[in-house]
A and B are shown apart, each in its own frame.
Chain A
């Protein structure tokens, strides 16, 4: 009994730590954002009303509460600009995540089948780009893709095109940038699950009459699904809110929600609308997260 008590207390404290962290650095700021999203824009410091002043007495706080409204959310739903931004963000995220999966899976699969000492080399190669600043790498792509950039010069030299092709400020450039930037986040979780699959399982499948291709679909693929889920979420969620890559590489005719949010916040100085857009974005992203959580929980329960 006494030994249990000794160990129980620090263990419980350790369990509280992540919740404390989440409350302090996620929940509290999020409440601020929700509050601002229910406010009205104003030419003031801070640029919205009402402002809660806890020293002003109960009546003033009640009045402040009464002044909150859902006008911003109504605006977001009614104005095409915002709805289209959300839709474009989702489309871009779905398309890029699909491309990432199609490229990342074979790469991770190949890595997992390399001899052990080459696996760590391959892993290094996947991680190495992180040693350079993300922005610098995107600017490097701008350099490569621009009118007289490396790509066009190569294409011209090989006589594959007659005149320089416009790459920059197109969706292709944006997808290229996104896929390039997020590929490690797809490869690493996939590699982690694929390399854990016991090769004897494939031998068993083949012993029981499966060709290598069927063994892949019947054994390897189902067992790699947790990695697929992790990789997809790890890419999909940040891509929906992506701002830098579309801003630097895509054209300006259609915006992703991250860009719209930036515009509202910095250019229009409309903090309440920007906050409302952020709250909706969070709600949109909650759906896949909950879905993944449920799948994982089912897997845990199935495995118990």
Chain B
């Protein structure tokens, strides 16, 4: 029996927002719903919370059907986009609200609120008005408020969307460590893959109201199962091809041999060359079968930890790689020879029809 089980859930507004979604979540894990805006991830979250009623399907929590259970009785917590702090209450009263709803006596409310403020590093701000807080402080109040009544399941709806990048990265780690410290089961919604990678135990990628892939962050990155996921993760080197012989894939570049290719011969697939898969080589003849390709540099960008290089190969295919900054690549217009690591090539069962040419 799963901790949280979603069975065939569906919800339409003007058009379908969530379609036939089934999911399981084990206790103590952090699940991330990842997808572009409008993919239905927030709706799914609100359905689980009980803020929306599903048109079809059921939600089971610890084996019991909670589909029709009113929001305030579910004992779930939610951290909202823009935080939704009570503007008329100070930090302490915001955090204490959920505990007061449990009808605890004042002393216990105070004790637990103070403990939560301590955990989130807000003790000194407890008398502040929420309008006087900075973005990061607000985020912490929102987290403390949602955690204070010890929800059985915590939901986070793009909780960092409105903050700047540096702050976001710091807070992500903080959120994850606090959630893990409390052994909280959580569902985290975001459209930002790097956010999802750093906070989640499992990632569910959604598109058009449906789940397209559920995996750990590592597997998702290494083995995207569809073109949609690959493109959403930002991969650009997607080569349409077909299996020709044992482990060989015929593409516009020639026949390449990825490390793991166990697909039936003749099948049309897409080959993904991850951006970090290439190394600059000197003094070797191009040999596609060995993963050594030649081309001309058409773009060259120094981004700190690596060089981002755009290369057009002899057969007019454009590829983008992040090369280690060990040795600078040739200037724009120069010839370049690259070796691609077969371990970092992935096969996607989808067939890519749109070929990007230079």
A and B bind: no
Residues on A lying within 8 angstroms of B by beta carbon are none
